[in-house]
Amino acid sequence: MMTTRREFLKRTAVAAAAPSALAMACAEPSVPSPVGDPIRPLVVSTWNMGLGANEAAWEVLSAGGRALDAVEAGVRVPEGDPNEMTVGLGGFPDRDGIVTLDACIMDENGRCGSVAALEGIVHPVSVARLVMERTPHVMLVGKGAQDFAVANGFEIENLLTPDAEAAWRRWLAEQGPERPPINVENHDTIGMLAIDQAGNLSGACTTSGAGMKYHGRVGDSPIIGAGLYVDNEVGGATSTGWGEAVIRAVGCFLVVELMRQGHSPAKACEMAVDRVIAKNPDWRDIQVGFLAVNRQGEVGAFCIAPGFNYALRTSEVENVMFDAPSRI
Ligand code: GLY
């Protein structure tokens, strides 16, 4: 059965769709269970950079490709963009002026791979995929991850662009904040979830992490269950924002488990944000956002503070941005 755009919007809890790709709409915090055919293929990803990433993923999905290939192709777009200063090439460095990257990927079979504190490699998500496919492990970090990447054909490059270096030097001169603000103007992570034509889910998440972090700091993005979790029987979730708070709540695993209990993606994300709030007395000073999809193709999101947005692409919804509802 063909789903109309109207039905789709109702089913995905989107209150109003914007006419242009960059205009914003709002997702409702609670929605009924979807009825009818599942929506597929579908790709959804965090922040404005999700638009370009979704297009690359959509090329794979619309050709009948696998969700795993789609999410890898999708997040490689911001990873390779020197103007995206929170992901991959051109990402903000740590306080020592070194760019270190975190990424993970998870497929429909529950297989997953991850790299953390990886230096000099533009596409950590692809290294994470090879950790999943070519090793008996889930996670490689630091020099070991870099050695593994080089052994598998990746080249070491300088990831510190002049703009990112200038930002770091300004931060040094001004003795900038230990915890930089994270929101739409200064987003931090691309997390992507996709459902392919076969109905299988995969996800990927990649970041340069908190700008001016301590050297060696690892956030939520490469931690399976924190920055990303996919269960093909239920759905998937990804997160953005202050990674320490997400790790404490094992945020994305929590979202998926709440969906397993019957909550919609929107409600599960809202409940996970409330868990983060309950566990972090400083919650008014941080941003955390969750984005989720269930295997029916119902999408939802929620965040602490206004400003978190996401991009959605399906056969019925051209790449459109939506604002996530917020607790504040
Ligand atoms: N959410 C990305 C990070 O905290 O590193």
pLDDT single digits (tens) 61-73 = 999 999 999 999 9
- From the CA of 206, how far away is ligand 1's center (Å)? 9
pLDDT of residue 31 exceeding 80: no
> Residue by residue, what is the 3-state secondary structure of 99-119?
CCEEEEEECCCCCEEEEEEEC
Categorize the per-residue pLDDT at 184 as very low, low, confident or very high, splitting at 50, 70 and 90: low
Would you say residue 7 has pLDDT above 70?
A: no
Give the tens place of pLDDT for each residue, 202-252. 999 999 999 999 999 999 999 999 999 999 999 999 999 999 999 999 999
**Token reading at 309:** 């947005």
What does the pLDDT read at residue 296?
Answer: 96
Give the pairing of strands 228-231 and 235-241: antiparallel
User: Over 90: is that where the pLDDT of 22 sits?
Assistant: no
Of 322, 315, 115, the closest CA to residue 207 belongs to: 115
Confidence of residue 182 (pLDDT cuts 50, 70, 90): low
What is the distance in A from the centroid of ligand 1 to the CA of 244?
8
Contact (Cβ atoms closer than 8 angstroms) between residue 279 and residue 295: no
- pLDDT value at residue 188: 79
What is the CATH number assigned to the segment(s) 41-323? 3.60.20.30
How sure is the predictor about 2, in pLDDT bands with cuts at 50, 70 and 90? very low
| Whether the bond into 41 is cis, omega within 30 of 0 | yes
Give yes or no for residue 19 having a pLDDT over 50: no
Q: Which of 221, 276, 286, 303 to mutate to test the pocket of ligand 1 (most atoms within 8 A of CB)?
A: 221
Judge whether residue 20 has pLDDT over 60: no
- Tell me the mean pLDDT in the region 92-106: 97
Decide: 196 in ligand 1 pocket, CB within 6 A: no
C-beta of 195 in contact with ligand 1 (< 6 A): no
End-to-end C-alpha distance for the chain, whole angstroms: 39
**Structure-derived torsion over alpha carbons of residues 287, 30, 225, 92, reported in degrees to the nearest 10:** -30
| Protein residue whose Cα sits closest to atom 5 of ligand 1 | 209
Residue 21 has pLDDT above 60, yes or no: no
Does residue 241 sit in helix, strand or coil?
strand
With cut-offs at 50, 70 and 90, classify the pLDDT of residue 34.
low
Q: Dump pLDDT digits (tens) for 125-136.
A: 999 999 999 999
Higher pLDDT, 26 or 282: 282
Q: Is the pLDDT of residue 308 over 60?
A: yes
Q: How far apart are CA 287 and CA 294, in angstroms?
A: 24
Q: Is the CB of 46 under 6 A from ligand 1?
A: no
Mean pLDDT computed over 258-285: 96
Contact of 221 with 114, CB cutoff 8 Å: no
* pLDDT number for residue 177: 72
Active-site residue list: 189
- What integer pLDDT is reported at residue 180 of this predicted model? 67
Residue 113 clears pLDDT 90, i.e. is over it: yes
> Which pLDDT score is estimated for 264?
98
Atom nearest to 210 CA in ligand 1: 5
Span 167-179, average pLDDT: 85
The residue assigned the tokens 């979830």 is 193
- Report DSSP state, residue 324: P
| Predicted pLDDT at 36 | 73
**Is the beta carbon of 189 within 6 A of some atom in ligand 1?**
yes
What sign does the CA torsion over 177, 182, 187, 192 have?
A: positive
Interatomic CA distance for residues 206 and 49, integer angstroms? 12
Residue 204 DSSP SS3: strand
209 Cα–ligand 1 center, Å? 5
Percent above pLDDT 90 for the chain: 83
Report whether residue 270 contacts ligand 1, using a CB cutoff of 6 Å.
no
Whether residue 240 has its Cβ less than 6 Å from ligand 1: yes
What's the confidence (pLDDT) of residue 88? 98
Ligand 1 centroid to Cα of residue 66, in Å, is 27
Note the helical H segments in the chain.
5-11, 50-62, 67-79, 124-134, 142-151, 162-174, 243-249, 251-260, 265-279
Task: Tell me what pLDDT residue 26 has.
Answer: 43
| Ligand 1 atom nearest to CA at 243 | 4
Angle, helices 251-260 vs 265-279, to 10°: value is: 140
The closest residue, in CA terms, to atom 4 on ligand 1 is: 243
Would you say residue 28 has pLDDT above 50? no
Is the minimum distance from the CB of 86 to ligand 1 under 6 angstroms?
no
Residue, of 42 and 184, whose pLDDT is higher: 42
Helix axes 124-134, 67-79, angle to 10 degrees: 150
- CB 201, CB 182: distance < 8 Å: no
CA-closest candidate to residue 240, choices 307, 144, 154: 307
Mean pLDDT of the chain: 89
Q: Is the C-beta atom of 219 inside 6 A of ligand 1?
A: yes
d(CA 88, CA 239): 17
